[in-house]
Structure 1
Amino acid sequence: MPKFTEAEKAQIHQCLLTKGKELFSKYGLAKTSIDDIVLACGIAKGSFYKFFSSKEELYYVILRHEEKIREQVLGELLREDLSPKELLTSFFKKSLQLVDENPFLQLMFQEGEYERIVRKLPPHLRQETAQEDVEKGMQAVVMLMQRGVLREEDPNVIVGVIKAIMMIRLHKEKIGADIFPDVMNQVIEHVVAGLAVER
């Protein structure tokens, strides 16, 4: 197996992320093979395993990168002169809009897909990402409390509420695709009314 320089490793790693995202978005996780990915990157199949233990791990790493966009959305909204209700409503709606506009993120909302991916991840990666999610969520919630956006409540509960709203997207088809936008508007309106500080 060839040895790569640090520059080559960085280049191959980026290629796997880029081509992996393209292939997953186009064909889905199940129909994309490691052979497809390494062919697109021009590397040997054995070289793939120097970077990732499975295609699910590659998928998950790409997903984590895509999820960082939500943090950027929140940062942008904080720079605008919005009331607490406007800020929270915009955050939820823009987060859901990002999913609807991103074919890669939409894959996660197919029934059972997330569970399949998580099952195939190395245990240490599952634990690290779960811990990181909790910490980042808590930091964001505490920061929004300090800024007078969120009411003073148990941050764990608020993080759970935010996750719950995003997970409703998993049930779009069961709720009814035609009424889903109106349902989400109602859910967001009521949740924001309960979480936002009145000004």
Structure 2
Amino acid sequence: MSKGYMGDDGNLVRKRTLLTLVLIAVLLMLSACGGTDSAAEDNSDESTEKPKPGLNETTLNDVMTKKDNDEAFYVLIYDAKQEYVKNTKLLEAYDKALKEKDMTAFYVNLNTLDDDQKQEVDAMSEAYNNRTSGHNPFEDGGMAVVHGGQFNSAYAYQGTAWTLNTIIGDANTESNTFLDDDLYSDVEKEIQYNIDYINDQEIELTY
């Protein structure tokens, strides 16, 4: 009779162990899905690793690797709390506008970087200011065209200002979103500036 009870206890232990492992696996999957700025569609293609039209999440390290490899691409750079990004639907607006033009871009939120990465960005921003004047995507936020191993701003090229980081904060406090007509038209204008820039410079993107 004692053997029977030991068998039941053994089964109970195995069931509890299995249940614990299942719960751990579920928690790991949920944690892997968190930490992004927005509910914007993930446009990356895991089978080919080729980004699709619209916004594609990336990391600062990946951007720097692409830059150092002389790749040519668009990247949206901004510095804002993730809560603000979600509230203002920033990424949803850029994703929509880019898809309308069949354009592909990456995006990086400088606000989520660690201290070492922020120091790296500060150094790049200073080097950028020494090289050109006007709009600085690291300080002001906005899209940049990376080519020839450098970050370049279509706004600086056009001699036009754009302070995306400030606008994100203003839109969050005023309950506006970038999908509203006035802000969305600004997003569309920015994208057109970037199209004009690569056409004028005859840049061939490497997507």
Q: TM-score normalised to the size of structure 1?
A: 0.30
* Structure with greater helix percent: 1
